[in-house]
Amino acid sequence: MRKAVLTLLFTSASAFAAIDFDREIRPILSDKCFSCHGPDAAKRMANLRFDTADGGAFSNSVIVPGKAADSHLFARISATGPNRMPPVSSGRTLTPQQIAALKQWIDEGAKWQSHWAFISPQRPATPAAKEPNWTRNPIDNFVLARLDQEGLKHSPEADKTTLLRRVTYDLTGLPPTVAELNAFLADKSPDAYEKRVDTLLQSPRYGERMAMQWLDLARYADTHGYHIDSHREMWHWRDWVIDAFNKNKPYDQFTVEQIAGDLLPNATLEQKLASGFNRNHMINFEGGAIPEEYLVEYVVDRLEATSTTWMGLTMGCARCHDHKYDPIPQRDFYRFFAFFNNVSEKGLDGRNGNAEPFLQLPSEQQKARQAELKAAISAHEKALPEDTVSAQQTAWEKAEFAKFQTMARDGLQAHYEFDGNLTDSSGHYQYGRVLKGDLTYANAAVDRGADFDGQTQAVFSHVPAFDNNKPFSAAFWLKVNGKLKDPVLSQGQFQLWLDDFELSGVQQRVPRLYVQLGAQQFRTRDRLPWPDNMNHVAVNYTGAGAFTVYVNGKPVGTEPVAGAQPDAKTNPDAPLEINFFKGRLDDLRIYNRTLDPREIAYLGGQEPLRAILNILPDKRAKDQKAWIRDYYLSKAAPAPDQRAWAELKALREDEKKLTAEIPTTMIMSEIVPSDVVPSNKEKPRETFILARGDYRNQTEKVTPGVPSVLPPLPTGAPDNRLGLARWLVDPANPLTARVAVNRFWQYYFGTGIVKTLENFGSQGDPPSNQQLLDWLATEFIGTNWDVKAMQRLIVTSAAYRQASRVTPELLEKDPENRLIARGPRFRLSAEMVRDGELYLSGLLKEQVGGASVDPYQPKGVWEEIAYGDGFTSQTYQQGHGDDLHRRSLYTFWKRTAPPPEMTTFDAPDREKCAARRTITNTPLQALVLLNDTTYVEAARSLAERMLLEGGKTPAARLDYGFRLATARAPQPRELAVLRETLNAELLDYKRHEDRAQALLKNGEAPVNPTLDKSELAAWTTVASMLLNLDETITKQ
């Protein structure tokens, strides 16, 4: 209905004015006719198209200008029965008004225009103002001219209080303080308002406010989005955006750096970082997914985000076929796609945080620490000169080699060395098999070892089953990477695993080792101080109900665990299996006897050494060389060398930890052909047209290019992303400036001049005031894309400063305020609702930038749908202290379970680029503001402010609270309502102090101990009412 009302508004003029093709006719033709008679050549019917003037529309009497009665078009659209256009099967119908409009247009001569948005804006002459006393800048002349055309009047200026609150929210996302308001009211100078605007534009909050919308476009989030949806780190990019707005980076630079910062000559770190705009898309690593499929999805996402954000075009619609409405052939889509395709990335990535390519970003402190460690390491290395150490080591090796005995093979049932396969070297040929997933091999304890990733399943089918009544021994090297509790080894009724059932100290998870055979379960008595590298484990079973366990060659005490249940479902003869285990295994040996402690000491000590000494020094792998050097310097070298070595190792460990702590950020990075950089092995990616948009259907090869309907790349611009970026900000580009100023307009008025911010094509809404749009666009270019100047221009216009009270007539005629006959009035954005209430209640902790934080969130929101252990961002760890009260754009954003208090207030889920939010009004919003801990705590904090800062009398305090919430003074009847509730609650909470106590316990912010609890509780309820007023969460 809203649309119907609007159409009425804009067509009402047609009863007495000539019809406007762009505004009234093209939208009808586009929406109702183009899908069969439009740009898509493959689907075009009757060889007739209405998107161009020369596509048959004016031949064969389809349209006879001036004579609707003679035009086939009119005959067909007004026909009944099977001849009617559009046909029933299309699901589309024309309304009587639309048919009448088309008739009138033909009768008036069927004047044709090319689509306005594809023609560069010409600066229109500013219309003479009929009310020169009202207009403040040219915006007002255009608004007034348009109002005049519709026979409407502008509204009076809003009062100063309303205006200050409006502009403060609009430019900073927060309300004014009482002191700011009083100062503003006291300032009687004619430019008091402009001075205030200038101050607000200088506030760091301005950058935060401007960034909020940009994050929606950039689909910014803290997780990858697909499937497991684990953590990524892009907040440095987010902070770059805030900073760019605060520094008033001109929009052309802002654009070039985000599209192609990495390609700028001598690109700075900041410029490379900025290119992360196009790495904010979702990234996948679902097991079994096909990389090629996702490479295409990532590039499509970049294309869609870029074309929506900068061009207001729905280019994505041309992925599978020519665009149905706009002149964008499928080929143009893939040429545009090619700009974003040549990135050095993987199809499946992100399992461990950021996906390639990314940039390291050490802090100043970290840089200093890096240098410090580097110096210390180099000093220690000098203390261990290679020549000397090497000579001494060789002598030692010779002596050691002579001493070796070989481990007895008696009773050896199976022996898996994991040196690259699952061969059994016991002589029994009991080879293992990988059933699922991949096994990788890396240098480990004894030569190489096998890495299991938690998804790998290996089975050793013919190893004899373990039996309660017979002795056996299992010995192996082990390193655990994943979650504990999953078995390392299992066979029928036998299982061996680690468990950190209880925490030892603060978050220190130290496991015990468990073995179970049938109903017997044993565990190590002590927790194992399990170091990060490989450890040797040996388990002896005597055949008579007792286990002994050895770790790194030494016995560790065990104790039986009572009440263990045998797994009734498992077949005792099931094969030995390694499944779910995440970590590294090496040198697994199974014996049908118990091992002697000396044998175990040997396996856990000298066996690895023997294995390496057996290899000639120059045949040893890098890791093996390192291992033996470590063994020598740790155990056999002269004491001073051993000390120096221990210190050096510790320093290197510190360096490694530091590197892991240094944040990274994902960036764009072009694959450079090897004829330019010979060391580059990766081949530049070619782009093909994909039939039906499917990654499997590569057809014609294409090169990068801009849509053919728009001007070509500027001369001399490279045909890569940098050229594209320069093209976007070329003054000749008809879209970029219009799309940008239209978006700014929406920030202030709630609706763009073109309502469809994301679509300036023929299916988009026509501009409500094209002259104004074009003037703003040319003004923006003319001021060298000065973003702050544009905001200032808009908020200092008389149009913006109007009162927002609406009359029934105006509501009827222009419900969405497209013509600006009144000031804006609409609910604040999700972020502003929360930030504003935290601020006015005194809780907001302001700090620009930094890693995302985890404020209050109901339990289970993530966990209910998450994958579980083993990945980041699966369980919500609520923060404390300042983290609870930061501005909302710093709230951690998990895409598959976004913060509910944000999405409830219409924030998008950030999976895809979102150009605008709808504003809804729902009961769930009421529940958030009434019951969310954030707001209950804010109410209590506001109550404290009212009691402590608001004066002595209840009336003064209520007045103060009301001003904090709405900026204005309450009317007596409003005060009376608040007073009535307050009195009732005071009585109630005095009688029920326990409830008062309970209410004050909501939230973690400390309660002021000097205040009476019952009194504070009663005031908290009144404060909560203030935080729930429509007016408090509305800009008016």
Partner 1 sequence: MINLTRRHFFRTGAAGIGIPALASLLQADTGGLEGLPHFPPKAKRVIYLHQSGAPSQLDLFDYKPALGKLHGTELPATIRMGQRITGMTSGQSSFPVTKSIFKFAQHGQSGAWLSELLPHTSKIVDDISIVRTTNTEAINHDPAITFIQTGSQQPGRPSFGSWVTYGLGSENQNLPSFVVLIAQSSAINTDQPLFSRLWGNGFLPSKYQGVNFRASGDPVLYLSDPAGIDKATRRRMLDGIGKLNEMNAATYGDPEIETRIAQYEMAYRMQTSVPELMDLSKESQSTFDLYGPDSRKPGSYASHCLLARRLAERGVRFIQVYKRGWDQHNDLPRDLALQCQSVDQPSAALIADLKQRGLLDDTLVIWGGEFGRTVYCQGKLMDGNYGRDHHPRCFTTWMAGGGIKPGQTYGETDDFSYNVVADPVHVHDVQATILRCLGIDHKRLTFKFQGRHFRLTDVAGQVVDKLMS
CA angle 86, 88, 90 (to 5 degrees): 65
1008 is a contact residue toward partner 1 (CB under 8 A): no
430 is a contact residue toward partner 1 (CB under 8 A): no
The least CB distance from residue 951 to partner 1, in Å, is 21
Q: Which of 11, 284, 342, 524 binds partner 1 (CB under 8 A)?
A: 284
The least CB distance from residue 491 to partner 1, in Å, is 14
Per-residue binding letters, 544-573, with partner 1 (x by CB under 8 A): -------------------------x-x--
559 HSE (CA, 13 A, CB side): 7
166 is a contact residue toward partner 1 (CB under 8 A): no
Q: Which stretch binds partner 1 (CB under 8 A): 98-106, 324-332, 652-660, 668-676?
A: 324-332
DSSP letter assigned to residue 344 = -
Say if residue 672 is exposed, middle or buried (CB neighbours under 10 Å; 0-12, 13-18, 19+): middle
Which of 376, 357, 170 lies closest to 276 in space, CA to CA?
A: 357
Per-residue binding letters, 296-315, with partner 1 (x by CB under 8 A): -x----------x-----x-
Q: What are the tokens at 473? A: 């021994």
Q: Show contacts with partner 1 in window 43-62 (CB under 8 A).
A: none
Query: Do the beta carbons of residue 453 and residue 438 sit within 8 Å?
Result: yes
805 is a contact residue toward partner 1 (CB under 8 A): yes
Please, which residue, 679 or 918, has the CB nearer to partner 1?
A: 918
- Within a 10 A sphere around the Cβ of 992, how many other Cβ atoms? 14
Q: Which of 756, 797, 802, 941 binds partner 1 (CB under 8 A)?
A: 756
Which of 494, 481, 482 lies closest to 539 in space, CA to CA?
A: 494
41 is a contact residue toward partner 1 (CB under 8 A): no
Q: Show contacts with partner 1 in window 692-751 (CB under 8 A).
A: 696
282 is a contact residue toward partner 1 (CB under 8 A): yes
1000 is a contact residue toward partner 1 (CB under 8 A): yes
Which residues does residue 1035 pair with via DSSP β-bridges, in sequence order? 826
Start-to-end Cα distance in the chain: 25
The least CB distance from residue 91 to partner 1, in Å, is 5
987 is a contact residue toward partner 1 (CB under 8 A): no
| Calpha distance 752→756 (Å, rounded) | 7
Q: Which of 12, 352, 807, 847 binds partner 1 (CB under 8 A)?
A: 807
| Calpha distance 737→728 (Å, rounded) | 9
- Alpha-carbon separation of residue 555 from 392, 472, 584 (angstroms): 33, 16, 22
Say if residue 670 is exposed, middle or buried (CB neighbours under 10 Å; 0-12, 13-18, 19+): middle
Q: Reduced to 3 states, what is the DSSP secondary structure of residue 663?
A: coil
113 is a contact residue toward partner 1 (CB under 8 A): no
Please, which residue, 489 or 722, has the CB nearer to partner 1?
A: 489
Please, which residue, 177 or 903, has the CB nearer to partner 1?
A: 903
- 147, amino acid identity: L
Q: Which of 534, 666, 702, 928 binds partner 1 (CB under 8 A)?
A: 928
974 is a contact residue toward partner 1 (CB under 8 A): yes
Q: Show contacts with partner 1 in window 510-549 (CB under 8 A).
A: none
346 is a contact residue toward partner 1 (CB under 8 A): no
The least CB distance from residue 1025 to partner 1, in Å, is 5
1025 is a contact residue toward partner 1 (CB under 8 A): yes
The least CB distance from residue 88 to partner 1, in Å, is 10
288 is a contact residue toward partner 1 (CB under 8 A): yes
Query: Do the beta carbons of residue 738 and residue 117 sit within 8 Å?
Result: yes
Which of 350, 353, 579, 575 lies closest to 455 in space, CA to CA?
A: 579
Instruction: Name 632's Cβ contacts closer than 8 Å, sequence gap at least 6.
Output: 393, 396, 397
Please, which residue, 127 or 734, has the CB nearer to partner 1?
A: 734
The least CB distance from residue 986 to partner 1, in Å, is 11
- 53, amino acid identity: A
289 is a contact residue toward partner 1 (CB under 8 A): yes
Residue with tokens 């247009």: 105
Q: Which stretch binds partner 1 (CB under 8 A): 52-60, 722-730, 761-769, 883-891?
A: 761-769
- DSSP string over 196-265: HHHHHHHSHHHHHHHHHHHHHHTT--SB-BSTT--B---HHHHHHHHHHHHTT--HHHHHHHHHHGGGST
Please, which residue, 573 or 949, has the CB nearer to partner 1?
A: 573
Secondary structure of 940-997 in the HEC alphabet?
Answer: HHHHHHHHHHCCCCHHHHHHHHHHHHHCCCCCHHHHHHHHHHHHHHHHHHHHCHHHHH
Q: What are the tokens at 135? A: 């207009």
998 is a contact residue toward partner 1 (CB under 8 A): yes
422 is a contact residue toward partner 1 (CB under 8 A): no
96 is a contact residue toward partner 1 (CB under 8 A): no
Q: Show contacts with partner 1 in window 396-415 (CB under 8 A).
A: none
- Total chain residues near partner 1 (CB under 8 A): 121
- Alpha-carbon separation of residue 464 from 154, 430, 594, 780 (angstroms): 92, 10, 15, 80
362 is a contact residue toward partner 1 (CB under 8 A): no
Say if residue 625 is exposed, middle or buried (CB neighbours under 10 Å; 0-12, 13-18, 19+): middle
925 is a contact residue toward partner 1 (CB under 8 A): yes
Rounded to 10 degrees, the C-alpha dihedral 611/615/617/620 comes to -80
- 920, amino acid identity: T
Q: Which of 409, 436, 635, 701 binds partner 1 (CB under 8 A)?
A: 436
155 is a contact residue toward partner 1 (CB under 8 A): no
Q: What are the tokens at 749? A: 């008025």
The least CB distance from residue 53 to partner 1, in Å, is 21
Q: Which of 69, 128, 435, 956 binds partner 1 (CB under 8 A)?
A: 435
The least CB distance from residue 964 to partner 1, in Å, is 15
| Calpha distance 204→164 (Å, rounded) | 18
Greatest extent of the chain over all pairs of C-alpha atoms, in Å? 111
3-state helix, strand, coil in the chain (%, to 5): 40, 10, 45
Q: Which stretch binds partner 1 (CB under 8 A): 650-658, 736-744, 882-890, 910-918?
A: 910-918
1012 is a contact residue toward partner 1 (CB under 8 A): no
Q: Reduced to 3 states, what is the DSSP secondary structure of residue 702?
A: strand
Instruction: Name 991's Cβ contacts closer than 8 Å, sequence gap at least 6.
Output: none
| Calpha distance 69→72 (Å, rounded) | 8
Please, which residue, 113 or 807, has the CB nearer to partner 1?
A: 807
Q: Show contacts with partner 1 in window 74-93 (CB under 8 A).
A: 91
2 is a contact residue toward partner 1 (CB under 8 A): yes
- Within a 10 A sphere around the Cβ of 137, how many other Cβ atoms? 16
| Calpha distance 497→515 (Å, rounded) | 7
The least CB distance from residue 907 to partner 1, in Å, is 8
Query: Do the beta carbons of residue 106 and residue 64 sit within 8 Å?
Result: yes
Q: What are the tokens at 763? A: 């299916």
286 is a contact residue toward partner 1 (CB under 8 A): yes
Q: Which of 811, 851, 956, 969 binds partner 1 (CB under 8 A)?
A: 811
The least CB distance from residue 497 to partner 1, in Å, is 14
Q: Show contacts with partner 1 in window 850-909 (CB under 8 A).
A: 858-861, 864-868, 895-898, 900, 903-904, 906, 909
The least CB distance from residue 920 to partner 1, in Å, is 5
326 is a contact residue toward partner 1 (CB under 8 A): yes
Q: Show contacts with partner 1 in window 192-231 (CB under 8 A).
A: 225-229
Per-residue binding letters, 471-500, with partner 1 (x by CB under 8 A): ------------------------------
Please, which residue, 338 or 907, has the CB nearer to partner 1?
A: 907
287 is a contact residue toward partner 1 (CB under 8 A): yes
Query: Do the beta carbons of residue 860 and residue 984 sit within 8 Å?
Result: no
117 is a contact residue toward partner 1 (CB under 8 A): no
